[in-house]
Structure 1
Amino acid sequence: MSTASTAERAVRIGNISGFYGDRLNAAREMLEGGGRAGDGIDVLCGDYLAELTMLILAKAQAKDPDAGYAKTFLTQMRDVLADCVARGVKVVSNAGGLNPAGLAAAIDELGTGAKVAYVEGDDLRGSLDAITPPVTGKPVSANAYLGGWGIAEALTAGADVVVTGRVTDASLVVGPAAWWHGWERADLDALAGAVVAGHVIECGPQATGGNYAFLDEITDRRYPGFPIAEVAADGSSVITKHPGTGGLVSVGTVTAQLLYEIAAPAYLGPDCTTHFDTVELSDDGEHRVRISGVRGSAPPPTLKVAVNDAGGYRNTMTLVLTGLDIEAKAAHAEALLFDVLGGRDRFAEVDVRLLRFDHPDAATNAEATAHLRVTVKDPDPRVVGRSFSNATMELALGGYAGFHTTTPPTAESAFGVYRPATVPRSAVTHTVVLPDGERRTVADPPGVSGVAPQTPSVRDSTPSPPPGGPTTRAPLGTVVGARSGDKGGDANIGLWTRTDDAYAWLRAFLTVDRARELLGPEAAELAIDLHELPNLRALNLVVHGVLGDGVASSVRPDPQVKGLGEYLRSRLVDVPTSLVP
């Protein structure tokens, strides 16, 4: 705990990054924002890691053993760290990636006088035997998801900056909140509340109006201010942003982010199991949303592991088809191309997609076009390199009428394969290295066993009967918001409504079979889970396998499924007329 006086109030934790490559000015804006007493920030936190990012960092480390961390974080610290030290603002980030020790040393070299600690133990590349399912070969990365107690330990020991490897995104809030309020490992409800707050702010402006489905609700269209979580001693929190910044903090924007990249309501984490079906949201004033009622239970006996393998090489060329006979032209082009290439069997994998954007009697040339997107994969870069893309040019004068491509011939690129896994906690040594060099092993939470966590009781949430009466053919998004995202090879689509009547209708309407029908052919053979979160007037769809071996390997035009929720909202359905605005 920081001090007795500070622990009497909520800790104010401001996010400065939602991914590697996010807004560099966010750190300065968060530190300087506000402008009135009480708007100061106690902790800056930033999330820089994703499954794809670990591949990027692994490539960098393969070229330079001293690399492997997010360099944009170091750029931000050059700008603000001296001011943070002067003001007593702590900094916590997972930007250490595959080399937290290297990032800590680089921060020391900035000469700000900051006391820097780092957390390690997540990198399992040196000991793969305990991972399930078994890992074959030599993965480029294999990282267990650690929790927040190493961060809390470092802050308690006086660190000004704590950098980590792979911790859960929410741990960047859990750790500082546990330190500030002096929580114990058995304070499961408080920890779960901090997990929810961390989940909301970890993607930066997605909590403050970014990527929000109901655009008409956002009256301030400036770039959204980054979010702040005010976490109280009982784990409840208020999500807000600095006064005068763009965007919107509302029950809707917070709901959207709560539904992002989750699966079942029992959200498994290293410090606790957080029960998202106990979350309650309420309006706490302009740009302020209160989160309360969150229940937690014991964490699972294993830790999640993200394993990334080198998958080989790929190349994509997109042929443009215009006007009449689109399908016949596409079939002709495909047959000609693979004849020129010597057959499809030359490649380990081939994916051909006809993407229809064309309209009959189009008003412009562009509106009369469709794309034939051809992707090939192989372990040998020469097979899918310029020999493939150059071959498409042989169709320029001998193919279909109107032939052209979206790009010149391109070279091959390496891709990765994501493998979800688990590891027993006993096989991972969660370690914090303090500013003075002392190494401490971080203890596991109590109550971890092989027994599945029991779901706490939730308030009676029996929905009202769905509204009857006449219906109107309208887009699903007329009454339903959505946010979609990737989780390994799966996609989640969180769907929510703004009224009880709309939720009662959505719950009755959206079965798994209907969701599969609305999502179209690519979901026809995929398993789909549907989870209810009545406290949020929400449903969560998990579409298994839509991304195959993960984002880095996917051949979908939208490989992170960011647009899948908006596609679902665009589908025409029969909506009760009483619900249509």
Structure 2
Amino acid sequence: MGDPGPGTPRPNRPCRIANCSGARGDPGYQMRRQATLGPMDFITGDYLAEMNLAENAEKMAAGRHDGWEPTAWDGLEQTLDVIKDKGIKIIINGGALNPKGLAQKAQKFANDKGLDLKIAYVYGDDLLQEVKTELEKTGKLPRHLDSENNKVSLAQNATDLLDTKGKPIVSANAYLGARAIVKGLELGADVIICGRVADASPVIGAAWYWHGWSDTDYDNLAGALVAGHLIECSAYVTGSNFSGFDEYPLDTFVDLSYGIAEIAVDGTSVITKHEDTNGLVNEDNVKCQFLYELQGSIYLNSDVAADTTGVRIEQVGKNRVKLSNIKGSPPPPTTKLAIFYHGGYEGQLLINATGYGTKEKFELSEKQLRHDMTQKGLIDKFQLLDFQVLGVPEANPRSQFASTTYLRVFVQADTEALIYALLKGWSEVAMMHFSGMHLSLDTRTAHPRSYLAFYPAVCAQDDLKEGVAVLSAGGEDVERVDAAHPPKYQELIPRENYETAHPVEIASFGTTRKARLGNICLARSGDKGANINFGIFVRKAEQYPWLQAFMTRPRLQELMGEDWKEDFFIERMEFANIQAVHFVIYGPLGRGVSSCRLLDALGKGFADYIRDKEVDVPERFLEEVAEVRKQRRAML
């Protein structure tokens, strides 16, 4: 296994790519395990969520942070000694704000250990100064990511970053493609450290280089893009965040291994994992991960647009699932630009109630606090003052814990003083409290903390100055190569939004009874800026016409219950080959994860909330699903 090096023909087989991270907390031993538990050609890692860069930008500027992710270094430190002999190359985005700094640290480590490694880094994603200069010069915001849809309402306060003094920008990073990565591999780099490349770009770059594709081999690139999407998120494709987990022994999901993609020359791939490791790779879980964080049928990257409408996901062996029928086309002329700025200050109060009269207790608390803020002339000064009731007390409770729920008072404001004013107001009315009121031990969350807000924008690809630099043994740039730009672009078209073409009468499926939707459907959901994506599927083809007819836009709105707001907007489309219906709900996450008022700021719990709803289900489906579950479990 392994890459024979630049200029040497690669073996005529799929390249084997193991992912070692999908979030900044993933430990370094996951990288070493991927390198040592079986043959491998590349190891990739995605350490960046949208928040990482912004959270560390000011600390780095003040000399209190290195700018790169510590767990990425942890992985390199544990793994660099084995990759040369095995012919493995590492491509990670753990360089974050300072990819050159992490590359230099890795180069020094290699020198000290006598390792003959060539280290490179990708540059060109950091556009902070350009965005700040343009905003201060013109007073105009970059185009919002969702602006092409005139039916979508932007979140309240979405344009606050126009206040460049009061709410200054702290980071602005473009999502880069794989072009610089390919250049680095062609220069012989053993390790490539990236900043904000798109999540799947390291996988695309590895497969592109291995198979010698051109930048217009769009079907192949599109296949690699979706394979990268499947494996880039830690253990999500091997059993984590899996809505069907309860059908298997729970020990299956302890100490999970991470995903591997074997990508063939035609862009098709097999998703798998190392043998004799925990977890599972089956159709159900791969479908769940495919549906995660999509925004419709066209998956966009800086190098290719992947049309996934006809995607096929098929079990081809134990812990081996084939991905095929992805079509590619030229990328859009723009790429995502993640801008973070100081949004203000926020805090929360957590007030517990037990048992009898809980609804009225929380109503009283809200009335008391709103009255106090109104009397002081502050009620209209807050950006947000939200009263959220969490949980429902158990009827005839088994314990006081089972009877206890809490009120979350969530507040955001321009100043710390306003948060303290709310806290002071609450302390003044606290002893007027309802029967049995009590608090969690830690009240520090009620004190103000600065929060960052997210503005998802787009920027022109042709304006980017993306490239790769290879370091000398002394840590200086010895080779720098411009990545150039895609040879062709394709303008974005409106995303698909439709109900099923020929809905079947629901009554035709026979006798029904009330059951949880999750009894017959699996699903996954996640965040896309202000929006939640939600994909739901059945596991037998004969059940799909029912799902198509049942899961409409009005039905989803109904199932959302009190969470639905009139300024939300829903897009709907279908993936027929995997019996799935997919939705994007625009608006629930406000200005995104970092400033969201919801507990579930990442939208991950939305799918299981909808699956928990009781609906009229054809009785024969429940019997069929019991048999499917039995079969799936037998394949483990």
Q: TM-score band, normalised by the shorter chain? A: over 0.9
- Match in the other structure for 2:99: 100
Q: Residue type of the partner of 2:302?
A: P
User: What is the CA–CA distance in structure 2 between the aligned matches of 1:325 and 1:465, rounded to whole Å?
Assistant: 43
1:572 to 603, 614, 621: 614
Report SS of the residue matched to 1:140: strand
Shift, 1:413, TM fit: 1.7
2:385 to 350, 353, 359: 350
Superposition pairs of residues 467-478 of structure 1, within 5 angstroms = 468-478=509-519
- Match in the other structure for 1:481: 522
Report SS of the residue matched to 2:51: helix
- Match in the other structure for 1:37: none
User: What is the CA–CA distance in structure 2 between the aligned matches of 1:297 and 1:80, rounded to whole Å?
Assistant: 37
Shift, 1:51, TM fit: 1.0
Which whole-Å deviations, capped at 9, do the CAs of 1:459-499 have from their partners, x for residues lacking one? xx999887611112111111111111111010111111111
- C-alpha contact (below 8 Å) 1:45/1:173 kept by paired residues: yes
Which whole-Å deviations, capped at 9, do the CAs of 1:284-304 have from their partners, x for residues lacking one? 110000111211011111111
- Match in the other structure for 1:132: 143
- Once the two structures are overlaid, the 10-residue window that deviates more, 182-191 or 134-143, is 134-143
- Once the two structures are overlaid, the 10-residue window that deviates more, 170-179 or 52-61, is 52-61
Residues 431 and 276 of structure 1: is their aligned pair in 2 closer, same or farther, counting only changes over 3 Å? same
Q: Residue type of the partner of 1:162?
A: I
User: What is the CA–CA distance in structure 1 between the aligned matches of 2:214 and 2:36, rounded to whole Å?
Assistant: 32
- Match in the other structure for 2:572: 530
- Match in the other structure for 1:238: 270
Shift, 1:110, TM fit: 1.5
Q: Residue type of the partner of 2:311?
A: V
Shift, 1:414, TM fit: 1.6
Report SS of the residue matched to 2:368: helix
Residues 510 and 453 of structure 1: is their aligned pair in 2 closer, same or farther, counting only changes over 3 Å? closer
- Match in the other structure for 2:481: 440
Which whole-Å deviations, capped at 9, do the CAs of 1:362-396 have from their partners, x for residues lacking one? 221112222111011122223324x5446544555
Report SS of the residue matched to 2:10: helix
Q: Residue type of the partner of 1:121?
A: G
Shift, 1:75, TM fit: 1.2
Correspondence 1:167 to 2:197:
yes
User: What is the CA–CA distance in structure 1 between the aligned matches of 2:433 and 2:490, rounded to whole Å?
Assistant: 64
Shift, 1:66, TM fit: 6.0
Residues 218 and 516 of structure 1: is their aligned pair in 2 closer, same or farther, counting only changes over 3 Å? same
Report SS of the residue matched to 2:537: strand
User: What is the CA–CA distance in structure 2 between the aligned matches of 1:320 and 1:393, rounded to whole Å?
Assistant: 15
User: What is the CA–CA distance in structure 1 between the aligned matches of 2:502 and 2:206, rounded to whole Å?
Assistant: 37
- Match in the other structure for 2:547: 506
- Match in the other structure for 1:280: 312
- C-alpha contact (below 8 Å) 2:296/2:495 kept by paired residues: no
Report SS of the residue matched to 2:609: helix
Report SS of the residue matched to 1:198: helix
- Match in the other structure for 2:75: 76
- Match in the other structure for 1:26: 30
User: What is the CA–CA distance in structure 2 between the aligned matches of 1:462 and 1:268, rounded to whole Å?
Assistant: 29
- C-alpha contact (below 8 Å) 1:240/1:249 kept by paired residues: yes
- C-alpha contact (below 8 Å) 2:182/2:206 kept by paired residues: yes
- C-alpha contact (below 8 Å) 2:462/2:485 kept by paired residues: no
2:239 to 209, 213, 221: 209
- Once the two structures are overlaid, the 10-residue window that deviates more, 334-343 or 67-76, is 334-343
- Match in the other structure for 2:147: none
- C-alpha contact (below 8 Å) 1:91/1:161 kept by paired residues: yes
Report SS of the residue matched to 2:235: helix
- Match in the other structure for 1:122: 125
Shift, 1:14, TM fit: 0.5
User: What is the CA–CA distance in structure 2 between the aligned matches of 1:462 and 1:325, rounded to whole Å?
Assistant: 48
Report SS of the residue matched to 2:185: helix
User: What is the CA–CA distance in structure 1 between the aligned matches of 2:381 and 2:486, rounded to whole Å?
Assistant: 53
- Once the two structures are overlaid, the 10-residue window that deviates more, 376-385 or 528-537, is 376-385
User: What is the CA–CA distance in structure 2 between the aligned matches of 1:67 and 1:465, rounded to whole Å?
Assistant: 60
Report SS of the residue matched to 2:432: coil
Shift, 1:572, TM fit: 0.5
- Match in the other structure for 1:150: 180
Q: Residue type of the partner of 2:463?
A: A
Shift, 1:195, TM fit: 0.3
Superposition pairs of residues 207-356 of structure 1, within 5 angstroms = 207-219=237-249, 220-340=252-372, 342=376, 343-356=378-391
- Match in the other structure for 1:12: 16
- Once the two structures are overlaid, the 10-residue window that deviates more, 358-367 or 290-299, is 358-367
Q: Residue type of the partner of 2:284?
A: G
- Which consecutive unaligned segments of at least 5 residues does structure 1 have? 35-39, 456-460
User: What is the CA–CA distance in structure 2 between the aligned matches of 1:392 and 1:449, rounded to whole Å?
Assistant: 55
Q: Residue type of the partner of 1:103?
A: L
- Match in the other structure for 2:54: 55
User: What is the CA–CA distance in structure 2 between the aligned matches of 1:392 and 1:524, rounded to whole Å?
Assistant: 28
RMSD of aligned Cα (Å): 2.3
Shift, 1:56, TM fit: 2.0
Instruction: State the TM-score, normalized to the length of structure 2.
Output: 0.85
Which whole-Å deviations, capped at 9, do the CAs of 1:195-222 have from their partners, x for residues lacking one? 0100000002110111111124434343
- Match in the other structure for 1:371: 406
Which whole-Å deviations, capped at 9, do the CAs of 1:175-210 have from their partners, x for residues lacking one? 011111111001000000000100000002110111
- C-alpha contact (below 8 Å) 2:59/2:65 kept by paired residues: no
Correspondence 1:547 to 2:589:
yes
User: What is the CA–CA distance in structure 2 between the aligned matches of 1:314 and 1:324, rounded to whole Å?
Assistant: 31
Aligned residues: 570
Superposition pairs of residues 351-500 of structure 1, within 5 angstroms = 351-385=386-420, 388-389=422-423, 391-410=425-444, 411-436=447-472, 437=477, 438-450=479-491, 452=493, 468-500=509-541
- Match in the other structure for 2:149: none
Percent of pairs identical after alignment?
35
- Match in the other structure for 1:521: 562
- C-alpha contact (below 8 Å) 1:464/1:501 kept by paired residues: no
- C-alpha contact (below 8 Å) 1:123/1:144 kept by paired residues: yes
Q: Residue type of the partner of 1:271?
A: D
- C-alpha contact (below 8 Å) 1:317/1:407 kept by paired residues: no
- C-alpha contact (below 8 Å) 1:300/1:453 kept by paired residues: no
Report SS of the residue matched to 2:593: coil
Q: Residue type of the partner of 1:49?
A: L
User: What is the CA–CA distance in structure 2 between the aligned matches of 1:465 and 1:115, rounded to whole Å?
Assistant: 63
- C-alpha contact (below 8 Å) 1:280/1:535 kept by paired residues: yes
Q: Residue type of the partner of 1:58?
A: A
